[in-house]
Structure 1
């Protein structure tokens, strides 16, 4: 069981025996099991003011998001092991692109999205593939148990076992990248657990409702507008500042002229390659 994502009041219970004395605690929770989180990823709870009660009313929201939104491109590490991956990258990188060097890199990376998406689509649903191979392997081993002298069944069982191991290994790499659980590196491929971790991370990080500056609860697509207006007000606000009498006294430590020139010098191809190759296997280059 885990807490449903919530907003509103943080203290859900109060004890007010006297006018100037009392206790505020968070003891009320709305919790759900894994099946609920899987089915209602966008569910959230609003804790409303308690008024004359000791406890906050809790409203569970189950948004009906019928409109489908385009999914962002996410590179799955296990696709690099596909036999056609290297050739796809070579073909995409050899295309002629005009412009600045950084523009060429970004443009070629974007051009590779479509062929890599197609490669992922050809791989199919990795979870369904593992489940199908598991059932086929079980059936083959059951038949082999009934006919242990059948040579063809031994060969079929060996092939199915190899296919199943490769599929579970791909699933493990995929879940490792999504769940970011470090101890998976020791080789524990508990798929059920990692499915729960991935779904739990998505549920906890999803912001479905928020309070604006007037403490009004805003839900759904209007949440984005609240964030935009907040940062517009924060960044665009003008404040009177006193002029500096001695600007040179603002910075006590200064870099030398040699280090200053080194910071603006031309970047070499070797440095660019070292920076790119230094990125972790489960990381994406930052912008």
Structure 2
């Protein structure tokens, strides 16, 4: 295992090393950011790999409280789908690897590029054995510190392994976030009157056009209602400190009614802010909520941060194999769909389509599909949607429609 670095960009201190892993402490020259980095080249034999898993578990005692990235060739897959042929059972090596991942509390970093990172033979055209043996794993602290970091698995070239590139950008240009309806707003007293006033505005056009225009007009007012007390998460911390101060004053002046009244008001504000925070977190994580205290579990916060990290698209390849990063990613999506939808093609008539569509609907089923949809069916479909599902293209969730329909039904 050979490790090299540019001393003008990073300082590297080797903490510990053996045949399968080298643990390093890395510091950037520019902004003095620090993190632990473990380079792995696991053995092909399961018995020797157990020493690697034990070594990583021991190193967690040192690196677990700091940003930590583990990258390299682990010589074992985690899941069935990481093998081109799939599989029918979990091998002992896979189970031991999964146990190690859970023990040291790391997960795959958001990655792009190749899915399978190892091939049995590049020169044999009949070889179809591909596996994901290389990966970049990070802990929660690494995601918190380097939120824009991602991994890129590049083409094999002449190697049987895909080179892995860990990209830690210095910073991306801040973009204003698009509107997203937060469910907690629907429980505010101002919500229904606000929607009522918005729906009374005159809009000319077909029914669907009127709905879309009214929804767009509501965005500004709903966003203002969302931020009327500032950032919810910051507000919770501020009110918590303020509540402590008020309660300390009550302890000093137990008979002062004004101080006690102020403490009660702050307590009510703090309680409401905590409820709003809980609803936002519940909507963001989009998992089945088990208990009211789920937001305080490490599992919950891990899922939330992992979902946020993996949902990003940091780079993309076009049809010519060119890779684009940052702001140019969105341009490639636009270009792709412009080419896909914006070109006309010659269509040849086909007289006999019976050999193409072998599975057809019966006359009764076909007639059922074109019957008029009743208002009760629309209401049932809308109310059947989980209010914490992801928002649509216009930023509104099902929760908005459910609360609004309760008012207008």
TM-score, structure 2 as length reference: 0.56
Higher relative contact order (CA 8 A, sep 6+): 1
Task: Give the corresponding residue for 1:219.
Answer: 325
Query: Structure 1: 5+ residue runs without aligned partners?
Result: none
1:181-260 matches, within 5 Å, as 181-183=287-289, 185-190=290-295, 193=298, 194=300, 196-227=302-333, 243=350, 245=352, 247=354, 250-256=357-363, 259-260=365-366
In 2: Cα distance, 1:25 partner to 1:253 partner: 40
Structure with bigger helix share is 1
Within the alignment, does 1:2 sit opposite 2:126 as a pair?
no
Q: Does the 8 Å contact 1:175/1:195 carry over to 2?
A: no
Give 3-state SS (helix, strand or coil) of 1:190's partner: helix
Task: Give the corresponding residue for 2:183.
Answer: 77
Q: Structure 1 residues 82, 188: CA separation in 2 closer, same or farther (over 3 Å shift)?
A: same
Q: Structure 1 residues 10, 91: CA separation in 2 closer, same or farther (over 3 Å shift)?
A: closer
In 2: Cα distance, 1:149 partner to 1:97 partner: 58
In 1: Cα distance, 2:141 partner to 2:312 partner: 18
Alignment deviations for residues 159-208 of structure 1 (CA, whole Å, 9 cap, x no partner) = 4333222111110001111111212x521253585555433312101111
Task: Give the corresponding residue for 1:163.
Answer: 269
Task: Give the corresponding residue for 1:137.
Answer: 243
How many residues end up aligned between the 2 structures?
280
Q: Structure 1 residues 24, 103: CA separation in 2 closer, same or farther (over 3 Å shift)?
A: closer
Q: Structure 1 residues 15, 98: CA separation in 2 closer, same or farther (over 3 Å shift)?
A: closer
Q: Structure 1 residues 211, 102: CA separation in 2 closer, same or farther (over 3 Å shift)?
A: closer
In 1: Cα distance, 2:161 partner to 2:167 partner: 19
Task: Give the corresponding residue for 1:282.
Answer: 388
Task: Give the corresponding residue for 1:263.
Answer: 369
Alignment deviations for residues 117-143 of structure 1 (CA, whole Å, 9 cap, x no partner) = 111121311011100111122233444
Task: Give the corresponding residue for 1:64.
Answer: 171
In 2: Cα distance, 1:41 partner to 1:278 partner: 35
Give 3-state SS (helix, strand or coil) of 1:123's partner: coil
Q: Structure 1 residues 139, 102: CA separation in 2 closer, same or farther (over 3 Å shift)?
A: same
In 2: Cα distance, 1:240 partner to 1:108 partner: 39
Q: Does the 8 Å contact 1:88/1:115 carry over to 2?
A: yes
In 1: Cα distance, 2:153 partner to 2:369 partner: 52
The structural deviation recorded for 1:272 is 3.6
Within the alignment, does 1:34 sit opposite 2:140 as a pair?
yes
Within the alignment, does 1:108 sit opposite 2:211 as a pair?
no
Q: Which of 76, 91, 94 in structure 1 is aligned with 2:197?
A: 91
Give 3-state SS (helix, strand or coil) of 1:247's partner: coil
- Cα RMSD (Å) of the superposition? 3.9
In 2: Cα distance, 1:42 partner to 1:211 partner: 19
Q: Does the 8 Å contact 2:117/2:134 carry over to 1?
A: yes
Give 3-state SS (helix, strand or coil) of 1:42's partner: coil
